[in-house]
Amino acid sequence: MTGLKMKMDELAEKIIKGEKLALARGITIIENNRKGKEELVAKLYPEAGRAHRIGIAGPPGVGKSTTTFRIASAFSKTDKCVGIVAVDPTSPFTGGALLGDRIRMNELFNDPGVFIRSMATRGSMGGLAVAATEAGDVLDASGKDVVIFETVGIGQSELDIAKACDTVVLILAPESGDGVQAMKAGFMEIADIFAVNKSDREGADKAVLEIQNVLSLHGDVDWTIPVLQTTATTNSGIDDLIAKIGEHYDFLKETGLLDRRRQDQFTDRVKSVVKKLISSAFWTDEREVKLEELVRSNPEKLRSPYRIAHKLTESFLQK
Ligand SMILES: Nc1nc2c(ncn2[C@@H]2O[C@H](COP(=O)(O)OP(=O)(O)OP(=O)(O)O)[C@@H](O)[C@H]2O)c(=O)[nH]1
Ligand SMILES: [Mg+2]
């Protein structure tokens, strides 16, 4: 056994026991693509799969962190261990928010049943979703009953993270009119529960109706997508939200959808690793240089990306 593998085995064992420091180290290794990452994931993966993965998505400022905090505290009070992956550099979890928020988040930090990890969006393209999902695996393997992913915005990378969750909660605010944007971005199709937060403000009823209208066109057969109203700051409607999250998880388990979803997610992950492996095997220094040469030697008017790509990959693909 190599030294590195032994070290990773040791670390994995500590993570599986639920040691916080080991957890933090493990996630750092994954986030930064450090040496030993593959060995660590291999060791932890068989231990993962027991946690309920909940995605909390939505446009900036609608109350995702406040809601996450409420949900996490409620779970923690019922003796469930909670892990949070907050994917956003400006989130209150990383100190980007107002003082009041930070104090509330600190209460959570002091809760021994809750482990919070924030990840910055400055990661490489497409890599963030993978890193966040793998951080979720580490938390899952460490025995968390629930892993919550808070993402900001409704872009592709947020969509990818949501797709790796069991239950996706889309949070909107009454005034935002973001529903339409979220719909365009593909979030309407993958959200299992809608929450119109800040329902202490005007327009919440109208927003709920609008969302219900759109959903009625989708007409999913088995799971009726609930559209709830919450006011995260006063904890209003949060019990209902937590109940629906639980119902959805039961629904997934009873119908066998959970296994199917996880199998699909696993297949997707293998595909993305294969893509990465092939791409890094292909892009040797030599080929980078050849590409430069081909681009330079072909006059602009005659240049076709396909022709050059075929020339470059010819020998590689024949193997
Ligand atoms: N009036 C009202 N304000 C709320 C409610 N929920 C959250 N807020 C406030 O809205 C602001 C943003 O809340 P956050 O929970 O940080 O929202 P977020 O969606 O996590 O924000 P980002 O992570 O920056 O996208 C804070 O000042 C909260 O106190 C609510 O239900 N009603
Ligand atoms: Mg937030």
Which ligand 1 atom is the nearest neighbour of the CA of 62? 19
pLDDT tens per residue across span 234-254: 999 999 999 999 999 999 999
Residues 307 and 219 in one domain: no
Residues 154 and 11 in one domain: no
Q: What is the mean pLDDT of residues 135-158?
A: 92
Report which protein residue has its CA nearest ligand 1's atom 28. 63
Q: What is the pLDDT of residue 99?
A: 43
Specify which residues 116 forms β-bridges with: 84
SS3 312: helix
Higher-confidence residue of 207 and 214: namely 207
How many CA atoms lie less than 13 Å away from 183 in the CB half-sphere? 12
Does the residue 263 lie in any domain?
no
| pLDDT confidence tier of residue 33, bands split at 50, 70 and 90 | confident
Residues 124 and 225 in one domain: yes
**Cα 178 to Cα 215: distance, rounded to the nearest angstrom:** 15
Q: Are 150 and 65 in contact (CB under 8 A)?
A: yes
| pLDDT confidence tier of residue 130, bands split at 50, 70 and 90 | confident
Nearest to 187 by CA among 147, 230, 231, 218: 218
Higher-confidence residue of 200 and 182: namely 200
Residues 148 and 94 in one domain: yes
Q: What is the pLDDT of residue 218?
A: 66
Higher-confidence residue of 187 and 236: namely 236
Q: Are 291 and 311 in contact (CB under 8 A)?
A: no
**Cα 239 to Cα 245: distance, rounded to the nearest angstrom:** 10
C-alpha separations of 234 from 170, 249, 287 in Å: 19, 26, 59
Residue type, 144: K
Does the residue 270 lie in any domain?
no
Measured from the Cβ of residue 75, the count of other Cβ atoms closer than 10 Å reads: 23
Q: What is the pLDDT of residue 257?
A: 94
Measured from the Cβ of residue 209, the count of other Cβ atoms closer than 10 Å reads: 11
**Cα 119 to Cα 298: distance, rounded to the nearest angstrom:** 43
Minimum mean pLDDT among 67-76, 83-92, 120-129, 171-180: which range? 120-129
Q: Flag whether pLDDT at 50 surpasses 60.
A: yes
Q: What is the mean pLDDT of the chain?
A: 86
Q: What is the pLDDT of residue 117?
A: 87
Q: Which residues line ligand 1 (CB under 6 A)?
A: 60-66, 88, 90-92, 97-98, 101, 152, 197-198, 200-201, 231-233
Q: What is the pLDDT of residue 95?
A: 44
**Per the structure block, which two tokens stand in for 221?**
């057969």
**Cα 108 to Cα 121: distance, rounded to the nearest angstrom:** 22
Tell me the percentage of the chain whose pLDDT exceeds 90: 54
Does the residue 136 lie in any domain?
yes
Range of the domain at 38: 1-46
Residue 84 alpha carbon to ligand 2 centre in Å? 12
pLDDT tens per residue across span 59-104: 888 999 899 999 999 999 999 999 999 886 554 444 444 444 555 5
Total count of domains within the chain: 3
> Among positive and negative, which fits the CA dihedral 31, 71, 21, 13?
negative
